[in-house]
Structure 1
């Protein structure tokens, strides 16, 4: 979000419920975010689970995680279940999406968001964020894939860019934790980000 837009939002909402969300992002702190959804179309698919973990001081702080299952109220198919292993019965036991997003925004405050292809996650969250706050999510965003691509291009400007998640984790020496679960993917992305910051992208 442009600094002028953030300033305007602070002027308008700085004394309200979302004041903390509009504060400047603290240095050296990120929040690794991941969603599991019924599909890949933000216009018609729904969030099934949301997880996020703080990343700071060279660690992923699992003890401070935010993790919720979401009640969709909609049916979804076997292909979706094969991907994230969340059944309709489990989804029906989740919480309403409005409650989950409200709690997440209060937990998040102004911290930077981190993710892998995080634009999709933000597109899924966007209508719920706007419905609650009246504005788009103001937090700075870092995409792991974009950072890896930039590192690869610096090392080999004419070489291919490889952004497959398994390739990233293997190259950085990070185990993929509970793949295709929101919490597992959020933790893995956080660990990859720390490895990338610490040693950069390894030479071929």
Structure 2
């Protein structure tokens, strides 16, 4: 055995039925030239034990689907993941997740397979997407040995790209909700925040089309250009 073999992560052993479902997951699709309206988007929000990318854990998943230019309320996903032997901090209580709720949650491997079946080959939208992408990717690797490769677009970047007149430097979801005068009746749990993000994204899709951004690929390209300009040193 190699001296360094202990460094390699051990793939989890899954029940046969779960392994078969994992193997049947569709390959992720690259962003394409279909219209923004035609694209099926999965809008995701996660609740975690905290904001440490390497130590904190995934507690709940909330997601809704935008398709045909509208939120499809027949396609919603919500799971709380079972997480025993975990000390819960104040942020968890803010999300309304009590210790008993988490103890009675779904088996993480089962919930994560179900979520990836729900996602299919669709791209993912989230507010502060790099955090959600990292935490979801970690959980998938830990519980399923699955590598997350789906494209993620950050609504926190899309909003200022398309609405520079807002003059927000680093606005949160609440600031954008207020700026667009959206009526959001619930916040700070995964499903409610995913829905609020989806409502914001519907407005942004309309703004994108007004600015001659017509496809998911075009939107991704414009985002990349915008971020490069922001990061360029000013002289």
Match 2:191 to one of 176, 183, 187:
183
The 3 A distance-change label for structure 1 pair 43 and 80 is: same
Q: Are 1:21 and 1:108, in contact at CA under 8 Å, matched by a contact in 2?
A: no
Q: CA–CA distance in 1 between the matches of 2:25 and 2:59? A: 28
Match 2:135 to one of 120, 124, 135:
124
Q: After superposition, where does 1:163-182 map in structure 2 within 5 Å?
A: 163-182=171-190
Query: Bigger shift: 54-63 or 71-80?
Result: 71-80
Q: CA–CA distance in 1 between the matches of 2:64 and 2:57? A: 21
SS at match of 2:65: strand
Q: CA–CA distance in 2 between the matches of 1:160 and 1:59? A: 26
Match 2:202 to one of 194, 197, 202:
194
TM-score where L is the length of structure 2 = 0.69
Q: CA–CA distance in 2 between the matches of 1:30 and 1:74? A: 35
Q: CA–CA distance in 1 between the matches of 2:204 and 2:29? A: 27
CA RMSD of aligned residues (A): 2.2
1:160-199 deviation line (CA, Å, top 9, x unaligned): 5241211101112322342011100001101100012224
Structure 2: gaps spanning 5 or more residues = 1-21, 209-235
Mark the structure with the bigger radius of gyration.
Answer: 2
TM-superposed CA distance for 1:130, in Å, is 2.8
Match 1:148 to one of 136, 142, 159:
159
The 3 A distance-change label for structure 1 pair 152 and 106 is: same
Q: CA–CA distance in 2 between the matches of 1:148 and 1:92? A: 37
Q: Number of residues paired by the alignment? A: 181
Match 2:26 to one of 20, 26, 49:
20
Structure 1: gaps spanning 5 or more residues = 1-15
Query: Where do 4+ consecutive residues of structure 1 move more than 3 Å?
Result: 23-27
Q: Where does residue 46 of structure 2 map in the other structure?
A: 35
Q: CA–CA distance in 1 between the matches of 2:83 and 2:195? A: 24
TM-superposed CA distance for 1:90, in Å, is 0.7
Q: Where does residue 12 of structure 1 map in the other structure?
A: none
TM-score where L is the length of structure 1 = 0.79
Q: Where does residue 75 of structure 2 map in the other structure?
A: 64
Q: CA–CA distance in 2 between the matches of 1:177 and 1:183? A: 12
1:84-132 deviation line (CA, Å, top 9, x unaligned): 0110011000012111111111221110100101211111111232342
SS at match of 1:53: strand
SS at match of 1:20: coil
Q: CA–CA distance in 2 between the matches of 1:94 and 1:44? A: 20
Q: Are 2:25 and 2:117, in contact at CA under 8 Å, matched by a contact in 1?
A: no
Q: Are 1:21 and 1:105, in contact at CA under 8 Å, matched by a contact in 2?
A: no
